[in-house]
Amino acid sequence: MTLSPRLRKFVLTVHVASSVGWLGAVACSLVLAAIGLVGEDARLVRAAYLAMGAIGGGVLVPLALASLATGLVQGLGTEWGLFRHYWVLIKLMINVFATVVLLLYTQTLGRLAHLAADPKVGLAELRDPSPALHATGALLLLVVATILSVYKPRGVTPHGWRKQREGRRKRRVGRSDLGHAE
Partner 1 sequence: MANRSPYPDTDDGHARRSADRPPGTPRWVKAFGIVAVVLVLLLVAMLLTGHGPGRHMDGQAHVTGDAERS
Site for partner 1 in 45-84 (CB under 8 A): 45, 78-80
* Cβ–Cβ < 8 Å for 52, 113: yes
Site for partner 1 in 85-144 (CB under 8 A): 85-86, 90, 104-105, 108, 111, 115, 118-126, 128, 130
- Among residues 16 and 28, whose Cβ is nearest to partner 1? 16
- Among residues 114 and 176, whose Cβ is nearest to partner 1? 114
Nearest CA-CA partner of 75 in 167, 152, 170, 137: 152
Asked if 41 touches partner 1 (CB under 8 A), the answer is yes
Q: How far apart are CA 125 and CA 80, in angstroms?
A: 49
Q: Count CA within 13 A, CB hemisphere, residue 173.
A: 6
Asked if 179 touches partner 1 (CB under 8 A), the answer is no
Asked if 146 touches partner 1 (CB under 8 A), the answer is no
* Cβ–Cβ < 8 Å for 22, 64: yes
Phi, psi of 122 (to 5 degrees): -75, 160
What is the DSSP-derived secondary structure letter of residue 129? S
Binding residues for partner 1 (CB under 8 A): 5, 8, 40-42, 45, 78-80, 85-86, 90, 104-105, 108, 111, 115, 118-126, 128, 130, 152-156, 158, 160-162, 164, 167
